[in-house]
Structure 1
Amino acid sequence: MTRTPLAYDAGMQPLPDPLPATGETPAQPYAGLTPDVVMDALDAAGLRGDGRILQLNSYENRVFQIHLEDGRIVVAKFYRAGRWSDAQILEEHTFARELAEAEVPAVAPLVLVAPTADMTTLSPATLRGTPPTLAQWTTTAGSTPWRYAVTPRCGGRSPELEDPAVLEWIGRFLARLHVVGERRPFEHRLHFDGTLRVRAAVASLADSPWIPMGAFQPWQRTALQALDAVDDRLAGLADLTLLRVHGDCHVGNLLWTPTGPHFVDLDDAVTGPAVQDLWMLLGGNRHEMQAQLGALLDGYETLRAFDRRELALIEPLRTLRLILHSHWIARRWDDPAFPIAFPNFDSPSYWAQQTTQLQEQLEAMAEPPLIA
């Protein structure tokens, strides 16, 4: 069986999607986020653009590259309403700043300073965090506020995962991230809970009126069988160490420069096992994945010990991600961007394909775990 490294949007998080923190997401959550509003929002947070703006790819949030009058180029992320609470976003920011302070290459948010009255005619944004890194600003009285953060623009290219030396370097990088991640716990962000939230996700999908039930029901039966298999794997893995991890470590979130790798997004940072940040970088057949895993761990274990029992979680974690991928699309189906991006989601062929993939996962979880 051949595996393809997963490169989903950050919203397709491998650990359970949270329940809405501030109410359900509106059907058109970004309808009013025009370029003028984006520029005004940055101006209200003390960052004046020169008019050049480029929207970047993202389904879950809205992300823009903006040139500032002072010559800097920044990236502004406008958070989807109802997904994360302020406390959860600020924990993400704190983790990013901790990594940057430890010289682990991760892009940390800028510290924001509200402009004075002589700098702008706009009402200043409300700034949150210590130091302030999260802004909240409303276009008109009574409207839903936009929440956003701003980071420096950091470029790069996709890493060459077929190169063992690159994988070793990434392994060292992830070990450094985890050394920082285990220093203190998250208090507000998601915590790995096995299959509990994923089972709730499967149940909620059954209530979707536009999903074809004839094709969905075989998927549902197979998904529950797969979750039983995940539980069987988890039952033999007591007392695993859980720590702050990136949570969505796929090739799309990892950029390579002449000085090595860096992350551009910690939007899905969670409390989970260390292997969560390794398995999505593996692809190909079993022999190829074993070689890739060996190179990753050769680098990783030069800086941090790795619990080899966690290798038994690779296929279970892949299974959880596949199920949550469907749940994520369903939760966002009222957003006009999603039917365009996933046009066959409400068709029998989609659910038949997903059923086949979960059957393959059942076979994979019946095999012995990878070794390295």
Structure 2
Amino acid sequence: MSANVSQPFYQLIPDTVIDAVESMGYLSDGRILALNSYENRVYQVGLDEAEPLIAKFYRPGRWSDAQIMEEHAFCFELAEQELPVVAPLQLDNGDSLFHFRDYRFALYPRRGGRAPELGDADHLYQLGQTLGRIHLVGAARPFVARPALDIQNYGRDSIELIARDFIPASLREAYTSLADDLLQGIEACYAVAGEVRNIRVHGDCHGGNILWRDDTPNFVDFDDARMAPAVQDLWMLLTGDDRQQQQLQLAEVIEGYNEFADFDPRELHLVEALRTLRMLNYSAWLARRWEDPAFPRSFTWFNTERYWGEHILQLREQLSALRQPPLKLL
């Protein structure tokens, strides 16, 4: 495997980042700050006599140009509806995806803020309102180039990779047997839910991708936007292991959501199925990126026998959750 494949960002040194930004007509003051991102590389770049910009360099080989531009177009649609999303900057000709040497990148305005308080009823209600408006736009048309979140790509493909190349031999039988049970449980949840509608969603709607600013939730990083059920953007707002607490949180989110879009209660059957798929996909994501030197440095605990043993225990607990009755609308 060539260095450019195994180390896709090996030439992305600070000078390259600054040169890329300046190729778009900006004058950097030389200040650069790497932000917390692993899939892509994201930097705050200081400008001469202007507010800093955020430069996002896309991981080579992950998304096609068409898929990235669909993400951008979705953000522009949301911004046109005056929704609080941080959309990329556009040139006068509408371009928002730029190329410099072997890299593709986009530029964003810098936005500050804090994480939402997911234990605060008012925050949950307002998050529900905003997501209802986002999904109203997301339901207007489908993605064409970007994939859907489904059992195959998040579940079966993830399990196949881990079982083939990563799980220790001593744990392989336990993992594959459990994985079969998980897939059956996921499929059962989808069967009970029935034909729910897939729409364009944020896809990775956790607190780290929401900035609370000026009493408003600002949604950032639509990199994982896909076609999926609306509940994919809602279930990660429910925190804690206490079912009663999650039930109360859900009631606030859905009350706000239903002011702008109609939530299909059948999708509640998918909450634990989607959580399981996320868990499976997360381990597979780390595995797929393990040859990128940034990953072994940052995730030192991954791919150890202890990690896989604990992962199997977590998946067993999740299998039990899959078999519980779903949350209900109050």
Per the normalisation by structure 2, the TM-score is 0.95
Equivalent residue number for residue 301 of structure 2: 344
The amino acid across from 1:181 in the alignment is G
SS state of the match for residue 55, structure 2? strand
1:152 lines up with 2:109 in the alignment: yes
Contact 2:192 2:269 in 1 (8 A): no
8 Å Cα contact 2:185-2:319 kept in structure 1: yes
Task: Please give the alpha-carbon distance, in whole angstroms, between the structure 2 residues aligned to 1:303 and 1:294.
Answer: 15
Is residue 132 from structure 1 mapped to residue 95 from structure 2 by the alignment?
yes
What is aligned with 2:198? 242
Match of 1:226 among 162, 182, 188: 182
- Whether the 8 Å contact between 2:154 and 2:281 is mirrored in structure 1 is no
Equivalents in 2 of 1:292, 1:34: separation in Å? Answer: 44
Distance 1:344 1:64 in 2: 26
Measured in 1, the distance between the counterparts of 2:290 and 2:171 equals: 18
Residues 101 and 24 of structure 1, relative CA distance in 2, 3 Å threshold: farther
Do 1:24 and 1:82's aligned partners in 2 also have CA atoms closer than 8 Å? no
After superposing the two structures, state which structure 1 stretch, 197-206 or 90-99, moved more: 197-206
1:181-260 aligned within 5 A: 181-195=138-152, 197-208=154-165, 211-260=167-216
The alpha-carbon deviation at position 41 of structure 1 amounts to: 0.6
Matched ranges for 1:225-304 at <5 A: 225-284=181-240, 285-304=242-261
Alignment of 1:1-372 (within 5 A): 26-112=5-91, 131-138=94-101, 145-195=102-152, 197-208=154-165, 211-284=167-240, 285-372=242-329
Q: CA deviation digits over 1:278-306, x for unaligned, max 9?
A: 00111111111111111101111111110
Distance in 2, Cα, partners of 1:196 & 1:82: 17
Deviations 1:4-53 (A, max 9, x none): xxxxxxxxxxxxxxxxxxx9982111111111100001111222211111
SS of the residue corresponding to residue 63 of structure 1 reads strand
1:223-277: CA deviation from partner (whole Å, max 9, x where unpaired)? 2211110001111222211110000000010110123101121000001100000
SS at match of 1:103: coil
- The 2-side partners of 1:35 and 1:24 are apart by 19
Give CA-to-partner distance per residue, 1:196-239, whole Å, 9 cap, x none: 5521221122332x542212431222122111100011112222
Give the residue type in structure 2 aligned to 1:67: G
Q: Kindly provide the amino acid, as one letter, of the partner of residue 51 in structure 2.
A: R
Distance 2:153 2:71 in 1: 23
Aligned to 1:117: none
Q: Distance in 2 between matches of 1:31 and 1:185?
A: 35
Task: Read off the aligned partner of 1:89 and give its amino acid letter.
Answer: I
Q: Distance in 2 between matches of 1:246 and 1:87?
A: 17
Judge conservation of contact 1:25–1:82 (CA < 8 Å) in 2: no
Where 1:318 maps in the other structure, the secondary structure is helix
Moved more, 231-240 or 85-94: 231-240
* CA offset digits 1:48-91 (Å, max 9, x no partner): 21111111000100000012224122100000001000000000
Calculate the TM-score normalised by the size of structure 1.
0.85
CA contact (8 A) 1:46 1:112 kept: no
- CA–CA distance in structure 2, aligned partners of residues 344 and 101 of structure 1: 43
Which amino acid counterpart does residue 356 of structure 1 have in structure 2? L
Q: Which has the higher contact order (CA 8 A, sep 6+)?
A: 1
Give structure 1 stretches of 5+ with no counterpart: 1-22, 114-129, 139-144
Q: Quote the Cα distance in structure 1 between the aligned partners of 2:46 and 2:182.
A: 48
Q: Distance in 2 between matches of 1:286 and 1:341?
A: 33
Query: Which moved further from structure 2: 218-227 or 295-304?
Result: 218-227
CA distance in 2, matches of 1:194, 1:329: 18
Output one character per residue of 1:88-134: Cα deviation in whole Å (capped at 9) or x when no partner. 00000000111111001001111137xxxxxxxxxxxxxxxx61000
Q: Report % sequence identity.
A: 47
SS in 2 for 1:64: strand
Q: Distance in 2 between matches of 1:216 and 1:352?
A: 10
Q: Distance in 2 between matches of 1:65 and 1:247?
A: 24
* Change beyond 3 A, Cα 1:55–1:327: same
